[in-house]
Chain A
Amino acid sequence: MNKPQQPHIELRTSPHIKAAPTVEQIMRNVVYALLPIAAFAVWQFGISALALILVVTASCLATEYVFSRSAGRGNTLSDWSAAITGLLLALTLPPGFPLWMGAVAGFIAIALGKTLFGGLGYNVFNPALVGRAFVQAAFPVAITTWTPAGLPGRFVEFIPATLALPFMTPPVVSEWSKQQVDSFSGATPLAQWKFEGVITNTSDLFTGMVAGSAGETSALLILLCGIYLAARRMMDWRIPTAVLLGAFVTALVFYLLNDQHYPTPLFVLFSGGLMLGALFMASDMVASPVTPWGVWIYGLFIGVLTVIIRYFGGLSEGVMYAILLGNALSPLIEHITQPRIYGARKSGVKS
């Protein structure tokens, strides 16, 4: 009798096959989708934006490395989620934001927004927005200092505030901006509308040649990158759709009530951070509900709230707080929208 063959046998539990994508693949693709937006920001605002993106991302990565190591979670950089936080955060800051403040923002985003809760998967809020909310409170002037897009010298000269030394008041940039572009008002399109009643042309908003945060200015590019992700099923398309729908309908109602005072719904969709927020931050899987109805409620809530804050709040932009509030409510939303299970008896359905 010939000797029976005994191969090496693996023992695993079913299912023995797995669908793509993995967490690493999803996160890596989000980074890919953010890169064109970052590149466009650099093209618009020059080396200041580049330096800011690099510093913030590096700060996030370093913080993640140190904290996850010391918390015994091993090296979690390979899941790419810290890189997403870094890129997103950098893209929500003004391009001339002092680099040292950017580093602080990155540290806070990861340390407070993520590792404090237990790392990836446990964070209640979108970490990038936690970082952004912190610097908004800590550095109220720097976070609202905008510079014009497309300056001729942007690839050779830093915006003066960029290189400010830590804990020193950054130089006043408005004079510098005025030297570059005579008419520059130092305000984003949203602030111009809110405080001065000027409405920027929607096509300028679409292509992004306006003042604003490093990455929130080209609505078109953000939309395209988001569609890429949704098409590859790396993002839940329902959330951005619900956010934009909520914002659009709310804006439409106000516009129909008083078209002299309120901007058009399109202006609302394409201005400020709404696009970036809807596609890349509200859709953060960890901090959004998982139930089918919950997803829609959560998205609509954020969209409606964004417009309300913009119109009636003290700030010109409301996306950040709307999303943070949405994040905070998401466990509750999930709780009240538990799916009806197959075969549930009508009388016995409990939430």
Chain B
Amino acid sequence: MTLLRWFGRKTFSHGVHPQAHKEDTADKPIRRLPFAPRMVVPLAQHLGKPSRPIVKVGEEVGRGQLIAEADGFMSVPQHAPATGVVEAITLMPSAQGPRVPAIVIRVYEASNQEVLWRTPRDMDALTPEQIVQAVQDTGLVGLGGAAFPSHVKLKVPAGAVIDTLIVNGCECEPYLTTDHRVMVEQGPDLIRGTQYAMRVVGAKRAIIGVEDNKPDAIAAIRQHLPADGSISVEAVETKYPQGAEKMLITSLLGREVPSGGLPAQIGVVVNNVGTLTALGRLLPRGEGLIERVITVAGPGVKKPGNYLVPIGTPLRFLLNYVGFSGSEQEVILGGPMMGNAVSSLDVPVTKGSSGVLVLSSSEIQAETRRIHPCIKCGKCVAACPMHLNPTQLGLLAAKREYEVMAERFHLKDCIECGCCSFVCPSSIPLVQYFRIAKSILRERAA
């Protein structure tokens, strides 16, 4: 454990300290974005199986209406983000690159966009299993970026006993402040969602972990904590990737998730604050997830801020609304450490999009960075929060010895946080090598 732990500051060892860049948006209250004339709802915006459309081209849909149903347990349904008419069900660009099937809705400009589709629930009457089903019906996924179906996460594997629910409010990615604003503005929803989740997993206590650079969020949540002391807020060190599930568990509880295992094995379930806030608001009303808070920031944006955006809004509409500036730019969906650079502005905001960043060439240091051979400086080893040896992994990847990487150097434990690439003075795209190596190994295994 690191020295800091001995001195009582909650943290994990290794990791990096990128510049936060949160000052532009951290104080901006969440504002609603107008409706785009056209919405693109991908059928696979979550991990798992794509949903199955249940509407036809030309059909009218109301805001909040179910338009695609879950295909099995590892899947979630989709709801219409706006009232309009289904224009097409076709392949559309995605943040990950390849075109994916999506439902395209032409939005009725004259509509007042009221949510008419809801089935309010009496939450107190539901069993844990019924709540899991309700969460799936909401279409909720991890809003922190992972987009893992929330009901799957809340379904405790047989035999596991959960003692603690950890609520992840770290938001360790630079620029992003969506979770920050949600914590400041939507405390009651967050607490309600946390209590539902505790009931589902059977946890006696919940800890909301927040990086110590957000004292206002910590103070805001404290005001809403229930009197029985079952939920607490803890400050953790501001360090990337504090918001990685495994790191946060270690910071708060001192436990390590076994290699290849799940947090449930050590009695923990982790959920993001944004996810639980949405849970707290949507479950009792019986509404589907049709909008989310997203940070729009970066030097290339004229009106940076936090916006409540209908899911399916194309980036082009969003960015035109907040205003572009500058010329040579990179548009990133998500945070700068783990997000995807998008190839087309027709890519829509999806359930997992926590931010849209427009970076200029000085942020990405395009020109000044030249790839050199590894100089074995060891910075990546000292940065890797999983305590892997990225130096060796990188050298092996260059030689395409993927099996050795997996068998001797624990490739599968890499969480793709990017700390190694971030610090590498030789600018070696280490984490990219590791992603490629993993996918090649997956293909070979299949």
Contacts and interface: CB of A to CB of B under 8 A. Distances in A.
Contacts of A22: 368-370, 425-427
Nearest to A238: B378
A interface: dominant SS: loop
Interface in A1-55: 4-19, 21-26
B338 A17 contact: no
Contacts of B386: 341-343
B259 interface: yes
Contacts of A24: 370
A236 interface: yes
Contact of B372 (A121, A287, A288): A121
Contacts of A10: 328-330, 341, 361, 364, 366
A344 B376 CA distance: 24
A291 B377 contact: no
Interface string A273-303: 0000000000001111111100100000000
A54 B261 CA distance: 59
A69 interface: no
Contacts of B359: 16-17
B339 interface: yes
Given A23-B426, A290-B381, A345-B258, A15 B338 contact: yes
A120 B372 contact: yes
Nearest to B300: A7
Nearest to B317: A4
B277 to A, nearest CB: 26
Interface stretch (B46-54, B154-162, B416-424): B416-424
A6 B375 CA distance: 40
Contacts of B343: 9, 11
Contacts of A120: 372-373, 375
Interface residues of B, number: 75
A19 B359 CA distance: 15
B330 A343 contact: no
A15 B246 contact: no
A248 B132 CA distance: 65
Interface in B252-308: 256-261, 300
Contacts, number: 180
A234 B199 CA distance: 51
A79 B409 CA distance: 30
Given A17-B422, A341-B386, A342-B387, A290 B341 contact: no
A293 to B, nearest CB: 11
Contacts of B424: 18
A339 interface: yes
B337 A9 contact: no
Contacts of B421: 14-15, 18
A341 B361 CA distance: 36
Contacts of A14: 332, 334, 336-341, 418, 421, 431
Contacts of A11: 330, 341, 343
Given A13-B429, A14-B418, A16-B339, A343 B365 contact: no
A329 to B, nearest CB: 14
Nearest to A349: B259
Given A23-B426, A290-B389, A16 B377 contact: no
Contacts of B258: 343, 345
B385 interface: yes
Contacts of B391: 290
Contacts of A236: 377-378
A119 interface: yes
A295 B324 CA distance: 48
A4 B316 contact: yes
Contacts of B331: 9
Contacts of B28: none
A71 B163 CA distance: 61
Contact of A285 (B329, B377, B382, B409): B377
Contact of A343 (B246, B337, B340, B370): B246
5 contacts: A16-B357, A120-B375, A292-B382, A348-B259, A350-B408
The 9 closest A-B pairs by CB, nearest first: A121-B373, A290-B378, A15-B418, A10-B330, A343-B259, A285-B377, A16-B336, A342-B386, A15-B337
